[in-house]
Amino acid sequence: MFYFLCKTILQRNNGCFISAQKPSILLLSDACIRYMSSDENQHSFTVSYLIKTYGFSPESALSISKRVNFEDPKKPDLVLSFFKNLGFSKIQISKIIRKFPETLSANLEKNIFPKVEFFISKGASTTDLIRIFTYYPWLFSRSLENQLIPSFNFFRDFHHSDEKTIAAIKRYPIILTRRLEADVIPNINTLHEYGVPASKILMLVHYFPQKIGMEADKFKKIVEEVKKMGFDPLKSQFVSAIIALTAMSRSMWDKKVDAYKRWGWSNEDICRAFVKFPWCMTNSENKIMAVMDFYVNKLGLESSVIAHRPLLLSLSLKKRLIPRASVIQFLSSKGLMKTSSGMIRVFTCTEKYFMEKCINCYEEAPQLLKLYNENLELSKQLVVKQQRIRQTKFGPFRKMLGAANK
């Protein structure tokens, strides 16, 4: 089945795979020559091929050529045709080459074909394959029989479904390379020992597979810490707290604690908020300061109100809080909304409920809707503007840093 899939790009010739297309003669560009010393001239064909075929800069092509080198385009052309036939774009193939240049010189029949065929046999779509292999092309260097199949089967036993297993792997393909006996299985056993239900363990494995694959000693210490904080292993917050704590270092945690204390929160407030809604500690310092400033200084809410309702900290400032606040302030000016609790409900309710209870039910609905949409549009424009500023400000620096690290 798999070779039939690839028949448009491959043909057999005395037991060897060759490209169905005639090799093209590639000439070394002048731009590339400037970046190569006499010792690197042996890589000239490889560099030229990478520039002309994938559009790599001379610097990137030269860096890649230090890890893979070939004298003719037969093998790399076959790799290109193979992935294009599967539905990969040239940009996506370039990502694979940039991360794992050895793909271009790999033995397709032994190292690449069987692994792609395996995922296809498990129901992986083109989108799935693109996600998995562009995210972590190093899978091509791992043993199918000794590593990938045993790991896939292990997680498949959890999900009882190839489709769900593929979905989990897409989120974190590296999980297939983690040590089952040394880390994954001990971590799962730790959760069992602390009384975490199988359904909650499955939630962690499925949605955050990277957490279950971390070093067993570190994982166990975090689980112990979560238990000491007062989390109930039977509830989802226990797993959420594990996810939150594994996502940051102790220094990051301390900085976020300091950020909340700047708004008058005590250690008890922070602990209570974390137990209620662990995701409040996954916010960046900037997000914490901006959202707290909005609630306290812009809307006049007491800081303690937010401490008792930490869910408010996870809401988007630009996409939800600012647009809905414009409606709240309008209604408040008309004496139609006065209490803090009313304001909080407006922020946390669904979009449908918000439209029904805060806009459509009032005589001023056309005006409210216009005000709301205007603020939504302003927020979108602000996001785009900030993205452009970051690209303009940091783009050259990132390019320079990337060149320096090569």
The residue-averaged pLDDT of 202-212 equals 94
pLDDT tens figures, 303-341: 999 999 999 999 999 899 999 999 988 888 888 776 555
Q: Give me the amino acid identity at 10.
A: L
For residue 17, the model assigns a pLDDT of 35
pLDDT tens figures, 289-300: 999 999 999 888
Distance CA(207)–CA(229), nearest Å, equals: 23
Displacement of CA 311 from its chain's centroid (Å): 22
For residue 308, the model assigns a pLDDT of 93
- Name the burial class of residue 133, with classes exposed (0-12), middle (13-18) and buried (19+) by CB atoms within 10 angstroms of its CB: buried
Distance CA(191)–CA(223), nearest Å, equals: 8
Residue 19 DSSP SS3: strand
User: pLDDT tier at 379 (50, 70, 90 boundaries)?
Assistant: low
User: pLDDT tier at 82 (50, 70, 90 boundaries)?
Assistant: very high
Distance CA(188)–CA(218), nearest Å, equals: 13
Q: Which two tokens stand for residue 108?
A: 């397709």
For the four alpha carbons of 286, 287, 293 and 298, in that order, the dihedral sign comes to: positive
Greater confidence, 203 or 344? 203
The residue-averaged pLDDT of 225-246 equals 95
Distance CA(55)–CA(70), nearest Å, equals: 18
> Residue 397: pLDDT above 50?
no
Q: What is the percent of the chain where pLDDT is above 90?
A: 68
User: pLDDT tier at 14 (50, 70, 90 boundaries)?
Assistant: very low
> Residue 236: pLDDT above 70?
yes
Residue 12 DSSP SS3: strand
Q: How many CA atoms, within 13 angstroms, populate the side-chain half-sphere of residue 198?
A: 3
> Residue 36: pLDDT above 90?
no
Out of 27-41, 93-107, 169-183, 345-359, pick the least confident. Answer: 27-41
The residue-averaged pLDDT of 122-136 equals 97
> Residue 404: pLDDT above 60?
no
Greater confidence, 398 or 288? 288
The residue-averaged pLDDT of 381-394 equals 48
> Residue 11: pLDDT above 60?
no
For residue 332, the model assigns a pLDDT of 84
Taking residue 225's Cβ as centre, other Cβ atoms within 10 Å add up to: 13
Q: What is the percent of the chain where pLDDT is above 70?
A: 81
DSSP β-bridge partners for residue 12? 17
Q: How far is CA 331 from CA 271, 299, 337, 339, in A?
A: 35, 13, 6, 11
Greater confidence, 376 or 241? 241
Q: Which two tokens stand for residue 143?
A: 């043993």
> Residue 400: pLDDT above 70?
no
Residue 334 DSSP SS3: coil
Q: 315-354 burial, b if ≥16 CB within 10 A, otherwise e?
A: eebbebbbbbbbbbebbbeeeebeeeeebbebbbeeeeeb
pLDDT tens figures, 161-190: 999 999 999 999 999 999 999 999 999 999
Distance CA(168)–CA(158), nearest Å, equals: 11
Distance CA(395)–CA(346), nearest Å, equals: 39
DSSP states along 23-42: PPP-PPPHHHHTT--GGGGG
For residue 10, the model assigns a pLDDT of 39
Distance CA(133)–CA(140), nearest Å, equals: 8
> Residue 226: pLDDT above 90?
yes
Contact between 86 and 126 (Cβ < 8 Å): yes
For residue 331, the model assigns a pLDDT of 87
Taking residue 56's Cβ as centre, other Cβ atoms within 10 Å add up to: 21
Q: For the chain, what is the mean pLDDT?
A: 84
For residue 128, the model assigns a pLDDT of 97
Q: How far is CA 152 from CA 112, 174, 175, 299, 329, in A?
A: 17, 11, 9, 51, 54
Distance CA(94)–CA(73), nearest Å, equals: 16
3-state helix vs strand vs coil in the chain, percent to 5? 75, 0, 25
For residue 43, the model assigns a pLDDT of 65
Q: Tokens 């990051």, residue?
A: 252
Displacement of CA 346 from its chain's centroid (Å): 30
Q: Which two tokens stand for residue 353?
A: 């409920």
Distance CA(132)–CA(127), nearest Å, equals: 9
The residue-averaged pLDDT of 396-400 equals 41
For residue 335, the model assigns a pLDDT of 82
The residue-averaged pLDDT of 339-355 equals 82
Q: Which two tokens stand for residue 63?
A: 């860096």
The residue-averaged pLDDT of 137-141 equals 96
